[in-house]
């Protein structure tokens, strides 16, 4: 089930154990080890679950693939919150890219495809998605040019896309350097690559430690600080246009689930039972999360281009 790996950043096999984590979200059994490289300080999971076995952790209980959408009286709030996530992605994008009907957008790790269909509806752009799991049975995939499998194995042309996005994808990647080099090949000379990942040097990691939601063991293979995120991108041949100490993904989710993980200690979250306190807490925490752009709570986003 496990395989040893060398540092994704520098290739060294000299490391120190950082912490052990559990699959806190669904409660699947197992203990997973994260280490830091003694040569460059990069943090990653080692040993990691083999790529043949990791597919078992991307079932319908995985957060991006959950099917339930009916939550009684909370359904309108749920739909608003899920839609807001895609709208917030769009707010970040339009600062850096102008899209129209001639544009092509690639979303790597597209999951159920709502972001892509939002972009197509708003800009009329051609939309392409890649995901490890076949999600093509979800609504809207008739509009998406969908490719199943590992991103770095895809043949999608060259100098093609006006925008490539990776919303919480790169931390899952089994060869993130190779994926960034492929993204460089695929993006147009005046295009942009936008990547959002959890931030290891954040306040929520400091608070929650081995129950930090950003660990998401065993699906997350690498953990980025601001420094390692920027270095990793630049050493993959890309130029940093901008760095944002926040993301589209709500920081509140990390606060709430971090508290829940501390309480449940690896038993997994029953969403049906926790959804009411989730939304109540979101209202109570609004004064804090409204300033998350300035607080380094959990996320980071990088905007890249060809040099």
Domains and CATH numbers, the chain: 68-305 (3.40.50.150)
Residues of the chain with pLDDT under 50: 65-66
Q: Compute how many other C-beta atoms are within 10 angstroms of the C-beta atom of residue 224.
A: 27
Question: Residue 83's pLDDT is what?
Answer: 84
Q: In what order do the strands lie in the sheet with 161-167?
A: 145-148, 126-131, 104-108, 161-167, 187-198, 299-305, 239-244
How far apart CA 132 and CA 226 sit, in angstroms, is: 26
Beta bridge partners of 34: 19, 45
Query: How many Å separate Cα 3 from the centre of its chain?
Result: 23
Question: Residue 270's pLDDT is what?
Answer: 83
Strands (E), 180-224: 187-198, 222-223
pTM above 0.85, yes or no: yes
Question: Residue 65's pLDDT is what?
Answer: 45
């Amino acid at each position: 089930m496990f395989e040893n790996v060398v540092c994704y950043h520098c290739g060294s096999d000299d490391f120190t154990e950082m912490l052990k984590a559990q699959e806190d979200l669904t409660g699947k059994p197992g203990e997973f080890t994260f280490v830091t490289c003694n040569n460059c300080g990069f943090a990653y999971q080692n040993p990691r679950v083999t790529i043949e076995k990791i597919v078992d952790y991307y079932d319908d209980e995985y957060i991006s693939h959950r099917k339930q959408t009916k939550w009684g009286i909370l359904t309108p709030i749920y739909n608003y919150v899920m839609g807001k996530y895609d709208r917030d992605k769009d707010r970040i994008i339009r600062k850096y890219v102008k899209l129209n009907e001639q544009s092509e957008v690639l979303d790597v790790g597209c999951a159920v495809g709502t972001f892509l269909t939002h972009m197509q509806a708003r800009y009329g752009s051609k939309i392409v998605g890649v995901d490890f799991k076949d999600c093509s049975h979800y609504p809207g995939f008739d509009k998406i040019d969908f490719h199943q499998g590992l991103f770095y194995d895809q043949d999608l042309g060259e100098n093609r896309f006006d925008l490539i996005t990776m919303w919480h994808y790169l931390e899952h990647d089994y060869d993130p350097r190779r994926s960034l080099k492929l993204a460089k090949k695929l993006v147009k000379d005046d295009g942009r690559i936008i990547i959002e990942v959890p931030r290891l040097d954040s306040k929520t990691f400091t608070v929650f430690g081995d129950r930090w939601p950003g660990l998401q063991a065993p699906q997350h293979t690498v953990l980025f600080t601001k420094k390692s995120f920027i270095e990793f991108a630049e050493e993959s041949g890309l130029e940093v246009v901008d760095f944002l100490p926040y993301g589209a993904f709500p920081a509140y989710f990390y606060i709430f689930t971090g508290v829940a993980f501390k309480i449940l200690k690896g038993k997994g979250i029953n969403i049906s039972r926790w959804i009411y306190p989730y939304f109540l807490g979101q209202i109570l925490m609004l004064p804090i999360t409204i300033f998350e752009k300035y607080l380094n709570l959990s996320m980071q986003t990088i905007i890249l281009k060809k040099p």
